[in-house]
Amino acid sequence: MPAVFRAAIRQGATNPLAPGHDSEHHSGMSLTLTFHGAARTVTGSCMEFRSGGSRILVDCGLFQGSRSLEALNYEPLDFDPKTIDAVVLTHAHIDHSGLLPRLVAGGFRGAIWCTRETADLLEYMLADSGRIQEYEAERRNRRRDRAGEDPIRPIYTEADAMAAWRLARPVLLEEGFDPAPGFRARLWNAGHILGSASAELSADGVHVLCSGDLGPDNKAFHPDPDAAAGYDHVVCESTYGDRDRQRVTIEERRKLLEAEILGVRARGGNLIIPTFALERTQELLLDIAVLSNSGRIGGATVYVDSPLANRATSVFEKYVDQLEDTGGRNVFRNPAIHYVNDVSESIRLNSMSGAIILAASGMCEAGRIRHHLFHNLHRRDSTVLFVGFQAQGTLGRVLLEGAKRVRISGKDVKVRAQIRRIDSYSAHADQSELLEWIEERSPIAGSLFLDHGENGAIEELRRLAQSRDLASTIVVPEIGETYELPAGQPARRTKTGRAELRDVIGRDWQNEYADLATGLKRRLAAIRDARARQKAIEEMQRVLDSYADHRASRERRKR
């Protein structure tokens, strides 16, 4: 797009590719939008757009967080995969792409439209997710507390994942394409991670923009988010809708990381950083390389203990000439950085001191990070440093909220390590940046939808957007809701959502059980009298039995 034209758009010109809002053209036609995920929660992104006989998805992601939320991944899909014509994928993070293999296993055979960088990353991201699904199913089936229960089957396999990757169809940013009959689409830079995009759709005379995940201003590697202006409807993420982060430069961020590294080295412990394999790991490696080259962290050594992160880094190396802040150099090959792939080498790290260990997953829900937490949380000389968003119900969120004990793989672990956080590594726009992005898309003739956020974040962003009159109506959808999207008018809800899901979003009963279980033995031991202790156990058993009896009685009455 010519620079003069881009400037005109930023000054408020309507989108030149938007179809005219001609009522005669629109008569009898109806574009609809259904939210299948990431509504009032931050994972499971999946939106279905339907126009005439065509149906496309924008993203198809995995639910992540509490066990109850993850259980949604096993439920039957709310649509027949065979009826979906195409997927427009905003980026490669698993909460946006992780159910694509299940879609393909169910019969989807259309194209997955995305940027070239996203297609390259998908090869590794989806394959790793497939292996994790197989491993987690096997591991849970071996647990003693599941003896006698039906075996858990993986959501999908590595073979399903590779079949999905082969359907990727790369397109350039700002290049128009036709994902399905009646749909016109275009991708814009979202500034979130390598290859991330916002998805613009036109159908039935209606023009819609889906933000995907938006990156912050002045982020390492990528230019600021961009898109045209003048839409009928806009769907915007709300991850940090309730907070503004302290504005820091990249150099100021490096000083914060330097202080954490030097602090833990002085105590003789390890610095454990739960990190997302894609983007967050590479940003940390950039900063560590700069700090190491300048001698600011002495002889500190970083171990990247994540085969997926190591593969993702190879994709960053492929596009290093396009990345900002690297000076065109391959900063990922540095003497201070060691990439760990072998399991035996990963296990050896558990006996080390003075190491910087980066391991996935970023919210501590799976992967090698849980082993490193198990071996370091009890150490007063170690630090666990969080550098990304921690969703409700995740182990990472539990630690940040000050838990003194946690359960990891069925075992109690006392938390003695320092729990620290650096917010400035976030790959998400904060409240002010989200509002600015929405305002730059104006005028929004119809509705602004706020998704991909927890309730508090969404409600605060909604309040501020409403006070600034950023759209004629602001909608906070729920999973399962369907909306008709007319041209130039507010959206109309035509189907209600799944009210029962409100109880599984956020902390669930298993989080509460973990809190109870980690302190139960200690609290029983505090009862000095043996008979009183036995009586307490018997009373707890009676309470549980009474609930079970009540449920059984209720089921008999139903029959």
CATH number at residue 90: 3.60.15.10
CB atoms within 10 A of CB 484: 17
Residue at 335 is within a domain: yes
Alpha carbon 503 to chain centroid distance? Answer: 20
Q: Are both 233 and 269 inside the same structural domain? A: no
Give the separation between CA 480 and CA 455, rounded to whole angstroms.
Answer: 16
- Same domain membership, residue 63 and residue 129: yes
Say whether both 218 and 342 belong to one domain.
no
Q: Is residue 510 part of a domain?
A: no
pLDDT given for residue 155 in this prediction: 94
Local confidence band at 66 (pLDDT 50, 70, 90 cut-offs): confident
- 342 and 437 share a domain? no
Q: Which residue from 92, 279, 280 is spatially nearest to 196, judged by alpha carbons?
A: 92
Q: Do 417 and 287 share a structural domain?
A: yes
Q: Is residue 413's pLDDT more than 90?
A: yes
pLDDT at 12: 37
Final residue before a domain boundary, out of 408, 425, 442: 425
Give the chain's domain count.
3
Give the CATH number, domain containing residue 327.
3.40.50.10890
Residue 504 clears pLDDT 80, i.e. is over it: no
Query: What is the pTM (predicted TM-score) of this model?
Result: 0.84
Give the least confident one: 291-300, 382-391, 501-510: 501-510
Q: How confident is the model at residue 439 (pLDDT cuts 50, 70, 90)?
A: very high
Do 395 and 259 share a structural domain? yes
Question: 229-263 pLDDT, tens per residue?
Answer: 999 999 999 999 999 998 899 999 999 999 999 99
Tell me the two tokens of residue 5: 């034209």
Segments forming the whole domain that contains residue 155: 38-244+427-503
With a cut of 60, say whether residue 28 has pLDDT above it. Answer: no
Identify whether 23 is part of a domain.
Answer: no
pLDDT for position 143:
75
Residues 549 and 431 in one domain: no
Please provide the average confidence, as pLDDT, over all residues in the chain: 90
Q: 116 φ, ψ to 5°?
A: -65, -40
Using pLDDT thresholds of 50, 70 and 90, give the confidence band for residue 29.
Answer: low
Q: What is the pLDDT of residue 230?
A: 97
Q: How far is 500 from 329, CA to CA, in rounded Å? A: 51
- Tell me: cis bond preceding 2? Omega within 30 of 0 counts: no
Same structural domain for residues 413 and 446? no
Residue 149: pLDDT band (50, 70, 90) is confident
In the predicted structure, residue 160 carries a pLDDT above the cut 90? yes
Q: Report whether pLDDT(7) > 50.
A: no
Q: Are residues 417 and 436 in the same domain?
A: no
Q: Report helix, strand and coil shares of the chain as percent, to nearest 5.
A: 40, 20, 45
553's enclosing H/E stretch is helix 530-558
Query: What is the percent of the chain with per-residue pLDDT over 90, rounded to a whole number?
Result: 74
Residue 146 has pLDDT above 50, yes or no: yes
Residue 231 lies in a domain: yes
Q: What is the mean pLDDT of residues 333-349?
A: 96
Task: Quick: pLDDT tens for 302-340.
Answer: 999 999 999 999 999 999 999 999 988 999 999 999 999
537 and 499 co-located in one domain? no
The pLDDT, as a whole number, for residue 516 is 65
Asked if the structure places residue 10 within a domain, the reply is: no
Tell whether 112 and 131 lie within a shared domain: yes
515 assigned to some structural domain? no
Quick count: other Cβ atoms within 10 Å of Cβ 77?
A: 14
pLDDT over 70 percentage in the chain: 89
Write the DSSP symbol of residue 245: P
Q: Which of 369, 393, 425 marks a domain boundary?
A: 425
pLDDT digits (tens, 9 = 90+) for 107-124: 999 999 999 999 999 999
Q: What is the pLDDT of residue 514?
A: 58
Per-residue model confidence as pLDDT tens digits over 451-500? 999 999 999 999 999 999 999 999 999 999 999 999 999 999 999 998 77
pLDDT tens digits, 193-212: 999 999 999 999 999 999 99
3-class DSSP state for residue 261?
A: helix
CA-to-CA distance for 204 and 352, rounded, in angstroms? 61
Decide if pLDDT at 159 tops 90: yes
pLDDT at 13 over 60: no
Q: Is 27 inside a domain boundary?
A: no
- Measured CA to CA in angstroms, residue 303 lies from 239, 252, 320, 333, 365 at distances of 29, 23, 21, 13, 20
215 vs 393, which has greater pLDDT?
Answer: 215
The pLDDT of residue 541 is 84
**pLDDT tens track for 296-309:** 999 999 999 999 99
Distance CA 24, CA 403 (A): 61
If one counts every other C-beta atom within 10 angstroms of the C-beta of residue 559, the result is 4
Task: Let me know if residue 385 belongs to a domain.
Answer: yes
* Residues 55 and 200 placed together within one structural domain of the fold: yes
Task: Tell whether the model's pLDDT for residue 19 goes beyond 90.
Answer: no
Q: End of a domain among 379, 404, 425? A: 425
pLDDT in tens, 505-532: 655 555 566 566 666 777 787 888 888 8
